[in-house]
Amino acid sequence: MTLRRKALTLRWLTLLVLFGLVEALPRAGLVRPATLEPASVILGRLMEIIVTGSIPSPYFARTGSPTLASHVSATLGSILLSYAGAVVVGTAGGVLLWRVPLLARILQPYLVVYYALPLFALYPLFILLFGVGFLPIVLLGFCFAIVVVMVNTALGLRRVDEEVYPKVGRSLGLGPAQMYLSIYLPAAAPYVFSGWKLGFVYSTISVVASEFLISVRGLGHVIDRSYRNFETANMYAAILLVIAGVLVANAMLTRLERRLYRRRG
């Protein structure tokens, strides 16, 4: 408990120090306003954007949509779609990798180098194949998130096989369905969930980054255009929105995990 409290105190303290630095550096003139605005200005802008529901930007007023909702819904929609696909297909794929060792052996080197490849370098190909708009963004997010879900699911299930639990299940006379539901699922849950959590982060990274390049809407687009138009406060406000979204999603997944883990088998 004391460790927890200590960690919590230090965590807020680092945040405060960071806030102080971000506040002081631009005000002291050590950093140009095009690079960084004072923290109070960024937070003030974030509040303004949330309260008014629109981005105070000459650029967006002129060319795009200044309303916050249109950007948030675009980003959120792309993330949720790509993430849902990655969770469903990735978890099933992980089960398959575990059940078919030959498949796992064949795919292993590809899975290992997967995240070392610059998947984004393929975005022109995605545009070529799927056009401009939601589809290439969602598909890139799906591709980016699916492998981490798959690998963690397979890893978790393989770990269960090394444990005594399957033996216990068999000695208690469980059938195949009962083995899956009552032994493998709960025993592998911690691994599967860490895959799901990482998958959400990967999905978010991919969607926001794709929006930089191939979208006219979304928070990634806002970050990119604000940067190009020297609207630094808008850019950081949008970045903070993305961070807040990831934190909320992670907290929700953690809660779900605890509830399932504590559930009566």
Partner 1 sequence: MAIIEIRGLRKVYRPDTGAPPVEALRDVSLSVEAGEFLAIVGPSGCGKSTLLEIVGGLQAPTSGDVVVAGEPVRGPRADVGIVFQEDSTFPWLTTLDNVKFGLRARGVPAAEQEERARQVIQLVGLRGFERHYPRELSGGMRQRVAIARTLVLRPKILLMDEPFGALDAQTRLLLGNELLRIWQEIGATILFVTHDLIEALRLADRVVLMTRRPGRIKRTVETAAPRPRDERLMASTEMARLANLLWEELREEVGEEGQG
Contact residues toward partner 1 (CB under 8 A) are 164-165, 167-168, 170-174, 178, 182, 186-187, 189, 261-265
Other CB atoms within a 10 A radius of the CB of residue 233 amount to: 22
Least Å from the CB of residue 149 to partner 1: 21
**Distance of alpha carbon 193 from alpha carbon 133, whole angstroms:** 30
Other CB atoms within a 10 A radius of the CB of residue 256 amount to: 12
Other CB atoms within a 10 A radius of the CB of residue 121 amount to: 8
Least Å from the CB of residue 169 to partner 1: 8
Q: What is the dihedral of CA 206, 207, 211, 213, to 10 degrees?
A: 30
For the chain, the distance separating the N- and C-terminal CA atoms, rounded to the nearest angstrom, is 29
Least Å from the CB of residue 261 to partner 1: 5
Measured from the CB atom, is 19 or 165 closer to partner 1?
Answer: 165
**Distance of alpha carbon 121 from alpha carbon 177, whole angstroms:** 43
Measured from the CB atom, is 112 or 172 closer to partner 1?
Answer: 172
Measured from the CB atom, is 59 or 165 closer to partner 1?
Answer: 165
Residue with tokens 């492998």: 147
Q: What is the dihedral of CA 10, 16, 18, 23, to 10 degrees?
A: -170
Residue with tokens 């779609």: 81
Least Å from the CB of residue 180 to partner 1: 12
Measured from the CB atom, is 167 or 255 closer to partner 1?
Answer: 167
Measured from the CB atom, is 62 or 262 closer to partner 1?
Answer: 262
Measured from the CB atom, is 155 or 189 closer to partner 1?
Answer: 189
Least Å from the CB of residue 167 to partner 1: 6
Least Å from the CB of residue 265 to partner 1: 5
Q: CB-based contacts of 137: which residues, under 8 Å, 6+ apart? A: 78, 82, 207, 210, 211, 214, 215, 218
Q: Which two tokens stand for residue 166?
A: 């399957």
